Structure 1
Amino acid sequence: MPAISVANPKGGAGKTTLTFVLACELARSGGSVAVIDADPNAIIAGWARKRTEQGKALPFEIIASPKESELIGMIDRLTPAHDFVLIDLEGTASRMTSRALARSHLVLIPFNLSPIDAELAANAVALIQEEAEALGRNIPFRLVRSRDNAAIETKTAKRIVAAITDAELPLLPARLVERAAYRDIFDFAATLDELSDGETSGLTAARRNAFEVAQAVVQAVQQETNR
């Protein structure tokens, strides 16, 4: 089953949030999911630890802080046993990132709609293309608009999206919108389904957004598998 890496050389691009929301939604839909938390900040692993201390079950498997030398073998063991394996990578180009890309069926590159973030996302695309050249195979990827404003499409955002289209780079049709619920899942060690309207605003919209993003990722995987 597919291994999906989430990569961007810039911190704050929304890698961990995208990985986590995607894992929760895929698991909620009945998929067997494993998350490899290879980000030094280990936010997803911290969520799991806090949840375990509260006596709550984990909705998906989490492997924290893998050793660089173990990563390829770990991915190879997990993919046959799970419907999806998600890898939250560190924010720099490294051998860990290179090894994850080598085993990825799809790479998601979240980015914020600012010129600096768009430039760094382009660096991530270049890294993927270099790795693909070294391997002698294509590594499919999708750029993902992350931490998007739900209400306003700025002129800057329109220019960046137009530039991506002109460059013929694949952009995921669904975007991850900035939502309070995506912060609260970490604060409360909860899933979106476990949060309530009394403690989180915009919960219905966040759940709908998570579903749309997960569906778009699944469709991207299917598109690449059928090529």
Structure 2
Amino acid sequence: MPAISVANPKGGAGKTTLAFVLACELARSGASVAVIDADPNAIIAGWGRKRVEQGRASPFEIIAGPKESELVRLIDQYTTSHDFVLIDLEGTASRMTSRAFARSHLVLIPFNLSPIDAELAANAVALIQEEAEALGRQIPFRLVRSRDNAAIQTKTAKRIIGAIEEAELPLLSVGLVERAAYRDIFDFAATLEELEEGTTSGLSTARKNAYEVARAVIEAVQTEMAA
């Protein structure tokens, strides 16, 4: 079953949020999901610990703080036993990142629509391409717009999207929109389904966006695996 890595060398790009939202949506659809939290910040692992302390189960399995030497074995193990394996990677280039890329059926690169973020996303693309050259095969990836403005697209955003299209880089058809719900899931150690309209604004639109992002990722995985 597919392994999907989420990577970006810049903090605040929405990497962990994307991995978490995707895990929740896949699990909600009935898939068995394992999340390997290889990010030193261990935000998803921390979310899971809060759930345990509160006596609540997690909708997906969390493997926290893997060692570099065991990452490949873990990915191989969980892709055999689960429908989807998501790897939330550390922000910098490392052997851990390289090993995850080598085992990934798809790499997602979230980025904010700003010039600095776009440049760093390009660095992540270059890292994937270097790893692919070393392996002698392609590593499929998608750039993913993160913290999108749901209402308007700025001139800067349009220019960045235009540059991505001109460079013929693969861009996921749906971006992760900026929503309060995506912050509240970590604050309340909850899933989107567990949050309540009375305490979280824009919840229904966040749920719809999460569903659409997950569907687009599944379609991308199916396309790449078929190829």
* Both proteins in one fold, TM over 0.5: yes
Aligned residue type for 1:139: I
Deviation, 1:149, is 1.0
After superposition, where does 1:41-56 map in structure 2 within 5 Å?
Answer: 41-56=41-56
Deviation, 1:105, is 0.3
- Separation in structure 1 between the aligned mates of residue 96 and residue 149 of structure 2, nearest angstrom: 32
2:39 match: 39
Aligned residue type for 2:90: E
TM-score after normalising by structure 1: 0.99
Would you say 1:30 and 2:16 are equivalent positions? Answer: no
1:125 match: 125
Query: Which ranges of structure 1 fall in alignment gaps of 5 or more residues?
Result: none
Deviation, 1:99, is 0.5
TM-score after normalising by structure 2: 0.99
2:100 match: 100
- Separation in structure 2 between the aligned mates of residue 94 and residue 217 of structure 1, nearest angstrom: 25
- Separation in structure 1 between the aligned mates of residue 169 and residue 3 of structure 2, nearest angstrom: 21
Aligned residue type for 1:120: L
After superposition, where does 1:68-87 map in structure 2 within 5 Å?
Answer: 68-87=68-87
Deviation, 1:26, is 0.3
Aligned residue type for 2:42: A
1:80-118 Cα distance to aligned partner (Å, 9 max, x none):
111100000000000100000010000000000000000
Deviation, 1:226, is 1.1
1:130-150 Cα distance to aligned partner (Å, 9 max, x none):
000000111000000001111
2:61 match: 61
Aligned residue type for 1:163: A
- Separation in structure 1 between the aligned mates of residue 186 and residue 212 of structure 2, nearest angstrom: 21
Moved over 4 A (4+): none
Aligned residue type for 2:24: C
1:9 match: 9
Deviation, 1:65, is 0.4
Would you say 1:189 and 2:189 are equivalent positions? Answer: yes
**Coordinate RMSD, CA, aligned:** 0.4
Instruction: Give me the identity figure in percent.
Output: 83
- Separation in structure 1 between the aligned mates of residue 52 and residue 184 of structure 2, nearest angstrom: 17
- Separation in structure 2 between the aligned mates of residue 57 and residue 10 of structure 1, nearest angstrom: 31
Aligned residue type for 1:219: E
Aligned residue type for 1:71: L
Size of the alignment, in residue pairs? Answer: 227
Query: Which ranges of structure 2 fall in alignment gaps of 5 or more residues?
Result: none
- Separation in structure 1 between the aligned mates of residue 147 and residue 203 of structure 2, nearest angstrom: 16
After superposition, where does 1:156-171 map in structure 2 within 5 Å?
Answer: 156-171=156-171
- Separation in structure 1 between the aligned mates of residue 13 and residue 37 of structure 2, nearest angstrom: 16
2:138 match: 138
- Separation in structure 1 between the aligned mates of residue 225 and residue 90 of structure 2, nearest angstrom: 26
Would you say 1:204 and 2:204 are equivalent positions? Answer: yes
1:224 match: 224
2:214 match: 214
